[in-house]
Amino acid sequence: MSEKSELNGAVENGRNESKIATLPKQIAEGEPLLEETRKEKARLRLKQALAIGGPFIITLGVGMTSGFSAVLLPQLMSNETTIQITQDQSSWIASLAVPPMAVGCILSGYLMEEFGRRLIQMFTSMLFVIAWVIVSVSTSVEVLYVGRIVSGLSAGLLSPLCLVYIAEVSDPVIRGTFLASIPLAISTGVLVSHSLGTFLNWKLSAAICAVFPLVSYIFYYFAPESPLWLANKGYKKKAEETFRYLRGYSKSSSDELHILLNRTTKAKDKSSEINKETVKRILSPTFLKPLITMLVLFFIQQFSGINAVIYYSVDILKSTTSNVNEYLATIIVDILRVIMSVTMCFVMKKYNRRSLALFSTIATGISLLLFSLAFRFLPQNYSWVNFVIISLYICCVYSGLVQIPWILTGEIFPTTMREIGSGGCTCFAFLMFFTVVKTGPVMFSEIGTGNGFLVYAVIALAGSVFIYFFLPETKNMTLQKIGDGYKDDNDNKTVTKV
C-alpha cells in the first residue's frame, strides 16, 4: 500500500471514530487540531447570540405580562375607562396570568422533548401575539381575564423552554452571560410596558406589545434546533452539523461533542428501560438533590418580594413616598432594574454563581429591613428616603438573586431529566409567584406595608444560610459535568463549591 493510501485510510478511520460529519481542511488532511483564533471565536459567539435572539425577544413579552397590570389597573380604576372594575377584580387581573404560567411549565417539559425546542417556541410566539390582541380588543372584564390567562400560559410554556434552549446552544464559557440575558429581557419588558402605559391608553399599549413576539417568530424561523435534542432523537448527523455550526472545532468543543454523542447513544439504546424506570429516576438523588435545591432557591427568590414590588409598584410608591410622583418613580426603578440586569450579564462571566447568590440574598435582606424601619419610624417629610431604599433593594435583589435561579434551571439537571426538572421547578416558581402577588395586598393591608417587607427581609436572610450550605457552583462547567455532580456517592463525584 502506498504512503498516500495509508494516509487516506488513516484519515477515513479518524473520521469514523470521531463521528464528525463535516471537518475543516486541516483536520481532513490529518493536521493537528488548532485552537480557535480570536476572529473564529467572535464568529461563533455571534452565531450563538443570533440563536438566542428569539428567546430574548419573546421573554420581553413575559416581562410585559408581569409589568402590564401596574399601569393597567390604575387606568381601569379611574372614571375615564369603558371597563369599570372592583378592587377584587383588579387583584384577579393582576394575578390571573400566574396559574396558567404554572400549567404552561408542566406542558413545556413534554412538548419540548416531543417536538423540539425550536418548533414549540415558534408556536408559543404566535400564541403570545393572540394573547395581546385579546387584551387590546377587550370590552369587558371577562375578556380581559381570557387575555391574561392566554398570556400567562404562553409565558409558562416559554420560561423553561427558553432557558433549556439557551443552555444547550451556548458555550460553557459564555453560557452564564446568555442565561443572564433572560432576567434582562424580563426587566426590559417590565420597563417597556410601564412606559407605554404611562403615556398611552392601555389598549394601544397592549397592541404594541403584540409586535415583540411577532418579531421573535422571525428569529426562531432562522435559528437552529438544539443539537442535544437532535442527538437524543437519533438525528446524529444533523446534531453534529448543528453543534459544529454553533461551537466550532476547538479541542474543548470536540471533547464535549464526543461525550454528548456517546451519552445520547447509550440513552437511546436503553430507551425502553428508561421509560420503565422513570419514577425510579425521579426519586433518585441525581434528580431529587438539584430539584429540592431549586425549589428552595425559587421560594427564597419569590418571597424576597420582588414580584410584589413589580406588580404593585405604583401603589407601593404612592403609599410610601408622598412627595415623589409614583409614575415617574416607577419608571426610574424600572430603568435601574434594566441597568442592573445589563451589568449582571458581564458580572456573571467574571464571578461565581454561588458567591453572587449569597451576596445578593444577604444584601436584599438588609435592604428590606432598612425599608421596613424607614417606613415605620421616619417622619412623612422624609418619605423620599423610602424611594432611595427601594432603589437600593432593586440593586441588591438584581445582583444575583433574580438571575441565578433561572440560570441554574437551564444547567443543573441531568440531561435525561432536564425537561422534567426545568418544567417542575419553574412551575413551582410561578405558583410561589402567584402566592406572593395574590397575598401581597392582603398582607400589606392587614399588618402594614412596613411589617410586610419585614417578613420578606426575614425570609431573605434565612435563605442566605441555605445558599451558603447547599447551593452548588456551575460556572464554566459543561452540562454533562454539572449533571455528574449529583450522582450517588458510589460515583465519587461531587459538584464543586467555591
- pLDDT tens readout for residues 391-400: 899 999 999 9
Range of the domain at 76: 39-228
In a domain, 21, yes or no: no
- Do 290 and 222 belong together in one domain? no
Contact 386, 374 (CB under 8 A): yes
Verify that 194 and 331 share a domain, yes or no: no
269 found inside a domain: no
pLDDT digit string (tens) for 19-57? 444 444 444 443 444 456 778 888 888 999 999 999 999
Q: Which of 228, 243, 258 is the last residue of a domain?
A: 228
**197 and 108 housed in the same domain:** yes
pLDDT on residue 351: 85
The verdict on 54 and 180 lying in the same domain is yes
Residues 475 and 381 occupy one common structural domain = yes
Instruction: Identify whether residues 395 and 291 lie together within a single domain.
Output: yes
381 located within any domain: yes
Same domain, 185 and 328: no
Identity of the amino acid at 484: D
Counted domains in the chain: 2
CATH number assigned to the domain comprising residue 324:
1.20.1250.20
Task: Give yes or no for a contact between 393 and 454, defined as CB atoms under 8 angstroms apart.
Answer: no
Q: Which cell numbers in the block locate residue 325? A: 410622583
User: Is 5 among the domain residues?
Assistant: no
Do residues 402 and 324 both lie within one domain?
yes
Same-domain status, 195 and 333: no
SS (HEC) of the chain: CCHHHHHHHHHHHHHHHHCCCCCCHHHHCCCCCCCCCHHHHHHHHHHHHHHCHHHHHHHHHHHHHHHHHHHHHHHHHCCCCCCCCCHHHHHHHHHCCHHHHHHHHHHHHHHHHHHCHHHHHHHHHHHHHHHHHHHHCCCCHHHHHHHHHHHHHHHHHHHHHHHHHHHHHCCHHHHHHHHHHHHHHHHHHHHHHHHHHHHCCHHHHHHHHCHHHHHHHHHHHHCCCCHHHHHHCCCHHHHHHHHHHHHCCCHHHHHHHHHHHHHHHHHHHCHHHHHHCHHHHHCCHHHHHHHHHHHHHHHHHHCCCHHHHHHCHHHHHHHHCCCCCHHHHHHHHHHHHHHHHHHHHHHHHHCCHHHHHHHHHHHHHHHHHHHHHHHHHCCHHHCHHHHHHHHHHHHHHCCCCCHHHHHHHHHCCCHHHHHHHHHHHHHHHHHHHHHHHHHHHHHHHHHCHHHHHHHHHHHHHHHHHHHHHHCCCCCCCCHHHHHHCCCCHHHCCCCCCC
Give the per-residue pLDDT at 278: 67
Count Cα neighbours of 379 within 13 Å in the Cβ-side half-sphere. Answer: 1
The domain boundary residue, chosen from 228, 260, 289: 228
Decide if 493 is inside a domain. Answer: no
362, part of any domain: yes
| Residuewise pLDDT in 10s, the chain (498 residues) | 444 444 454 444 444 444 444 444 444 443 444 456 778 888 888 999 999 999 999 998 888 887 787 778 778 877 677 787 777 777 788 778 878 888 888 888 889 888 999 999 999 999 999 999 998 898 888 898 899 899 889 988 988 889 889 988 988 888 888 888 888 888 888 888 888 877 888 888 889 989 999 999 999 999 999 998 898 888 888 989 999 998 888 888 888 888 777 766 555 544 444 455 666 777 777 888 889 999 999 999 999 988 887 767 667 777 666 666 767 777 888 888 889 888 888 888 888 889 999 999 999 999 999 988 888 887 766 767 878 888 899 999 999 998 899 888 878 887 777 778 888 888 898 888 888 877 887 888 888 888 888 999 999 999 999 999 988 888 877 776 776 665 554 444 444 443
Residues 165 and 73 in one domain: yes
Q: How far is CA 116 from CA 109, 110, 184, in A?
A: 10, 10, 25
Do 285 and 201 reside in the same domain of the chain? Answer: no
On whether residue 259 sits in a domain, the answer given is: no
How far is 143 from 130, CA to CA, in rounded Å? Answer: 13
Whether 388 is in a domain gets the answer: yes
Instruction: Say yes or no: 320 and 462 in one domain.
Output: yes
